[in-house]
Amino acid sequence: MKRVMLTVAYDGTNYCGWQLQPNGITIEEVLNRELSSLLGEEIRVIGASRTDSGVHALGNAAVFDTDTRIPAEKLSFAMNTRLPEDIRIVGSREVPADFHPRHCDSVKTYEYRIWNHTFADPTVRLYSKFCYYNLDVDRMQRAAQDLVGTHDFASFCSAGSQATTTVRTITGLTVERDIEEPRMVRIRVRGTGFLYNMVRIIAGTLMEIGMGQREPEEMRQILEACDRAKAGPTAEPRGLTLIGIAFRPLDRTDRRSCR
């Protein structure tokens, strides 16, 4: 028996998110089905991040236990011949038997993309939110800095969250236009944990500031209010991509934090 971690990329457009659910197809369901078929065992993956319906990922993670003799590193290639082309395994490796991707220290990086132009572009529409009004990226970047650090992010958490605390740590948050394609605005946020819809509410609030509907200085007041009603709307899922997750225990020197 060994535990294998997969790094999973997907276009979330046609999925009802990561987590198994009765009303539609999910990433977890497809992975369970194809792993079970490939390995001839009943496989149940444990995901690192249960992304919402329509959200994309370049580096989500999932672990599972298997008796297979196929080397862990080869599983990505074997799986990719079976998976639909909107899901790819972009890495696979063996991890310690007690490694759990949600019960350990990790840093997640998300990107929220906004196509900011007079007209939408059909070839980026599935992976970005369209915004007609000109965004002042400097204002957005200034406001974003008030979110960096350890705070109570209750204002940026949708109802329905099961979190016991709304305190989280954002270690980095940047708002930039692409150098080569300045019509694309990217909000990049990195942190050790995120509340339900937190990145999308941050994106929705930053967009209001970028459009001039709010002042950058309001961000601090919104944060301190600990009231979801004070923040902006939840920006639509298609703009959000989970870029990657770094797990601290996997560099063996610090494994205790994982258990």
Query: Which residue in the set 23, 69, 81, 123 belongs to the binding site for its own copies (CB under 8 A)?
Result: 123
**Residue 176 CB, nearest approach to its own copies (Å):** 11
Neighbours of 98 (CB within 10 A): 12
Instruction: Candidates 125, 134, 172, 257: give the one binding its own copies (CB under 8 A).
Output: 125
Which of 64, 110, 112, 127 contacts its own copies by CB under 8 A? 127
Asked if residue 89 binds its own copies (CB under 8 A), the reply is: yes
Stretch that binds its own copies, among 37-45, 120-128, 214-222, 245-253 (CB under 8 A): 120-128
Residue number with CB closer to its own copies (10 or 112): 10
**Does the protein bind its own copies through residue 87 (CB under 8 A)?**
yes
Q: How many residues bind its own copies (CB under 8 A)?
A: 27
Residue 238 Cα distances to 37, 38, 50, 54, 111, angstroms: 30, 31, 15, 6, 11
User: Could you tell me which stretch among 97-105, 172-180, 195-203, 248-256 binds its own copies (CB under 8 A)?
Assistant: 172-180
Whether residue 52 lies in the annotated active site: yes
14 Cβ contact partners less than 8 Å away, ≥ 6 residues apart: 25, 86
Tell me how far, at minimum, the Cβ of 126 lies from its own copies, in Å. Answer: 8
Residue type at position 106: S
Distance CA 175, CA 25 (A): 33
Cβ-based nearer residue to its own copies, 56 or 214:
56
Residue found by looking up tokens 């020197």 in the block = 253
Please give the Cα distance from 147 to 194 (Å, whole number). Answer: 12
Nearer to its own copies, 91 or 193 (CB): 91
74 forms part of the interface with its own copies (CB under 8 A): no
Q: Which of residues 31-60 bind its own copies (CB under 8 A)?
A: 56, 58
To the nearest whole angstrom, how small is the minimum distance from the Cβ of residue 178 to its own copies?
7
Active site positions, annotated: 52
Site residues, its own copies (CB under 8 A) = 9-11, 56, 58, 76, 80, 85-91, 118-123, 125-127, 178-180, 241
